[in-house]
Amino acid sequence: MRSLMWFRSDLRIHDNEALYKATQNQQTIALFIVSHKEWEKHHDAKLKLAFMWRNLQILQKSLESKNIPLKIIEVEYWSETPELINQFMIDHQISSLYFNHEVGINEIERDRAIYRKLKKNNFNVYHYHDKTLVKLGSILNGENQPYKVFTAFKKRLIEVLEHQSFENYSDIPIQDTTELISDDIAINPYQTLDDLTYKAGEDAAFEIFQGFLKEEIFNYHNHRDIPIINGTSRLSAYLALGIVSVKALLREALVLNEGSLRGGNEGILTWINELFWREFYYHIMWNFPKVSKNRAFQEKTEKIQWLDNEVDFEAWKNGATGVPIVDAFMRQLKETGWMHNRGRMITAMFLTKNLLIDWRKGEAWFMQNLIDGDFAANNGGWQWSASTGTDAVPYFRVFNPITQAERFDPDGDFIRQWCPELSHLDSKQIHKVQKNAIVDLKSSRIRAIETFKNLS
């Protein structure tokens, strides 16, 4: 009998636990399910989908080098998948299904339905926690409850990681040839929107990572907040689609830091800390599914009367608020599909506090535009900035975008790059709010604080 490896957001052959297990002593067929409607429903950016497709093409070639054919099934909605996979397994004499977990509520429900259906029909189903450093739901406090605060979560995570070894699941055996051939995916349905500056494939991701490990990681703690410097890894688009394994990244970073998660090089430790934030939000989403149902983590913040001002929202989206640093970052997002982390915090805070617009609208806009759109990190970042999430920024700590700009873009070069109409201004003037600004920073800050204060 054969095994079926269902690829989802783990489009790689190295360090892929489900693939590795599926290919041990079994003839394997690989599967990818296309659902344009589900991706649209989840606001996935076209840029991200185009990139995903290019990665799928490379994955297909890698699989073929192991004699594993990649088959494609297209569905309208996930609800069709249990029946289709069941039939696919019957048609191709497959006895076992393998996949790595995804964390969105729709994906979890889809997988549960498939599990029930296949089990009922006596198929085997094997699933793995490969999207995160440790098993989802396994980081618990003394009362066996999930952590809601990052520092406590991180402390426990480090303890667990110090006793965990990362197997390298990369040695995929070459299979006997079969009569089955891969489906044709040469035409990328999202091609017209593609940005070829992002090189696709595992090799490209590793090359980027190796470059980062050579130099920038050592300065990461100093450079990570300066948007004009290319001081971060730029691996997020690869992590979101699983082109690279987070476990492999940590393993390599640890080698460089002589195995330490607590001491050693400050740059490396600070970077690992960001992988822990990613881990934290994945675990939050797994343990508290309400966050993937469009709900605030802090119930009381559901009472906020957000302002429904479409004109302000449009100005924010288009980088035309009259607040230079906000506009620079919003244009960076629109034009490149990526935004620096400092910018994501500044613009999210500006939307939810100064404009008092619902974080869910900003969250969706980011997903629609980000090449690295990742539900857990995006939702976590938005709920952090909006003070609606777990361990979020306190509502009274509203960032002042002008002081943020003076601190993190002191010469104004980043603003000059994205707002050329301001490039004639000197490094002092360039940060100032423009005459046509859509909001007064001082009074809107007070309005936001009052709105949150009145909740309890």
Ligand X SMILES: Cc1cc2nc3c(=O)[nH]c(=O)nc-3n(C[C@H](O)[C@H](O)[C@H](O)COP(=O)(O)OP(=O)(O)OC[C@H]3O[C@@H](n4cnc5c(N)ncnc54)[C@H](O)[C@@H]3O)c2cc1C
Residue (41 or 119) nearer to ligand X, CB: 41
Sheet holding 94-100, edge to edge: 70-74, 27-34, 2-7, 94-100, 124-128
Residue (104 or 380) nearer to ligand X, CB: 380
| Beta carbons within 10 angstroms of residue 429's beta carbon | 11
The residues, any chain, with a CB within 8 Å of residue 77's CB and separated by 6 or more, are: 35, 37, 38
CB 188 → ligand X: shortest distance, Å? 22
Total number of residues shown for the chain: 456
Residue (56 or 235) nearer to ligand X, CB: 235
What is the gyration radius of the CA atoms in the chain, in angstroms? 23
| Residue 302 DSSP symbol | G
For the chain, counts of helices (H) and of strands (E): 19, 5
What's the CA angle centered on 49, arms 45 and 52, to 5 degrees? Answer: 140
Query: Cα–Cα distance between 76 and 336 in angstroms, integer?
Result: 29
What's the CA angle centered on 284, arms 278 and 288, to 5 degrees? Answer: 155
One-letter identity of residue 386: A
Name the strand (E) or helix (H) holding 439. Answer: none
Of all residues in the shown chain, the one whose CB is closest to ligand X is 381
Residue (30 or 356) nearer to ligand X, CB: 356
CB 344 → ligand X: shortest distance, Å? 3
| Beta carbons within 10 angstroms of residue 263's beta carbon | 9
One-letter identity of residue 69: P
The residues, any chain, with a CB within 8 Å of residue 74's CB and separated by 6 or more, are: 33, 34, 35
By the criterion CB under 6 A, which residues form the site for ligand X? 224, 232-236, 239-240, 274-275, 277-278, 281, 341, 344-345, 348, 366, 370, 372-374, 377-378, 380-382, 385
Catalytic residue check, 418: no
Give φ, ψ of 322 to 5 degrees: 85, 0
Place of tokens 């594993």: 68
Query: Cα–Cα distance between 133 and 355 in angstroms, integer?
Result: 37
Query: Cα–Cα distance between 206 and 11 in angstroms, integer?
Result: 14
Of residues 378, 377, 356, the one with CA closest to residue 367: 378
Q: Find the catalytic residue in 286, 316, 382, 418.
A: 382
Residue (224 or 431) nearer to ligand X, CB: 224
Name the strand (E) or helix (H) holding 240. Answer: helix 236-240
CB 16 → ligand X: shortest distance, Å? 17
Catalytic residue check, 277: yes
Catalytic residue check, 309: no
Catalytic residue check, 382: yes
Q: Find the catalytic residue in 67, 306, 309, 406.
A: 306
Q: Find the catalytic residue in 188, 219, 309, 341.
A: 341
Catalytic residue check, 274: yes
Place of tokens 């201004």: 425
CB 82 → ligand X: shortest distance, Å? 29
Residue (27 or 385) nearer to ligand X, CB: 385
Burial 187-215 (b: 16+ CB within 10 A, else e): ebebeeebeeebebbbebbbebbeebbee
Residue (17 or 374) nearer to ligand X, CB: 374
Helix then strand then coil, in percent of the chain rounded to 5, is: 50, 5, 40
Residue (123 or 312) nearer to ligand X, CB: 312
Residue (319 or 373) nearer to ligand X, CB: 373
CB 12 → ligand X: shortest distance, Å? 15
Query: Cα–Cα distance between 285 and 280 in angstroms, integer?
Result: 9
Half-sphere exposure of 410 (CA within 13 A, CB side): 2
Active site residues: 274, 277, 306, 341, 359, 382
